[in-house]
Amino acid sequence: MAKTFSIATFNLRNLNEPGLEMYGRAGWSQDEYDRKIVFTARMLQTLPADVWGFQELWHAETLSKVLEGAGLHTEYVAVAPEGHDGGMIMCAAALRRSMLVGEPEWIRDFPDEMILKSGGDDPQTESIAVSLRSYSRPVLRFRFQPDERADPIHVFVCHFKSKGPTWISREEWYDRQLHKPHQEAIGAAISTIRRTAESAALRVHLTKLMKDTDEPVIVIGDINDGTLSNTMNILTGQPNYLMGESTGGSDVDLYTGQTLQDYRSTRDVYYTHIHQNNFESLDQILVSQELYDNSRKRVWAFKKLDIANDHLHYDPDHEAGTSDHGIVRATFKLDPA
């Protein structure tokens, strides 16, 4: 039994076996690979967690080597797709063997309810239709049970489309003279539409699980958007905070670890990514009302949130094999309302 547990999210920055091609380009050299293994294993030791959610894993064997390098391979189980051998990018996990419940699954397709089509809701609004039917990075779903006195917790590990503009110059409709001056704007719009659709699709999956139930849920991962973005608003449902003790909570909404930590701090310095000197919070831990302090249905209470992001400054070019994202860990204690 565990009176407390911790859960973390970690973007691995294309963790793959050496020499394997990624994104149509040459993969890691042996030296680069060795440095990535050392850094990743060290971070698992520096910021220890009972449950880890990973993004950008290309090879299951590489994750096993990381756990071995961190000295966790006997106590922890690696959760990666069977036969995952470097051909595609996936979400993965590692957690204490004693906590895993059931079999993990990777959700590739959007739910049937997910239809993005409208004729317009007023006479001035043109019709719209988005034909996306799957996640660009399949969502990992599994359950774990930190303490037998409490129900197992559902975990969703996600990685939404980046904010980087989609490369459109290879499209058959692309006209260099016509589109080149606008390819950044068009590409960014396509990425935003894809990321928005992915957040809505996951929101549908979550609502189907959480509606009129007391199933505890945690969503972790690289959302590729900030806490106040539309992506996050769709995913969380924008719940109310600062309710009275054990009087709040919402059946299907999610509460951000960042906000829960803000209420325990006099200064907000949360960031997990730096791009063109912009400090952003792209990596999130979101929890249902069963893990929200002020919920009348609270089972687990939030204790604290930690971020490891120094490597974004001391190794901005990733020569030491570092990730380009900070690592976020949240800790909870068993404390029913």
How does pLDDT run across 23-46, given as a tens digit for each residue?
Answer: 989 999 999 999 999 999 999 999
Topology given in CATH for the domain delimited by 4-334: Deoxyribonuclease I; Chain A (3.60.10)
Buried b (16+ CB within 10 A) or exposed e, 284-309: bbbbbbbbbbbbebbbbbbbebebbb
- Write the CA distances from 260 to 27, 136, 139, 291, 303, integer angstroms: 39, 29, 24, 11, 9
Rounded CA separation 316/235 (Å): 30
What pLDDT is stored for residue 244 in this prediction? 60
Residue 84 tokens read as 């995952």
The pTM for the full model equals 0.95
Q: State the Rg of the chain over Cα.
A: 20
What pLDDT is stored for residue 276 in this prediction? 82
What pLDDT is stored for residue 262 in this prediction? 87
- Amino acid in position 27: G
What pLDDT is stored for residue 1 in this prediction? 66
Per-domain residue ranges for the chain? 4-334
What pLDDT is stored for residue 240 in this prediction? 84
pLDDT means per 10 residues in the chain (337 residues)? 92 97 94 98 97 98 98 97 94 98 98 94 92 96 97 98 91 92 95 97 98 97 94 94 70 93 80 88 96 93 95 94 97 95
Q: How far apart are the first and last CA of the chain?
A: 19
How does pLDDT run across 256-303, given as a tens digit for each residue?
Answer: 999 899 888 877 678 899 888 888 899 999 999 999 988 999 999 999
Residue in this structure with the two tokens 């089972």, named with its chain if needed: 299
Rounded CA separation 225/221 (Å): 11
Residues 6+ apart with CB under 8 A from 248: 240, 241, 289, 292, 294, 295, 296
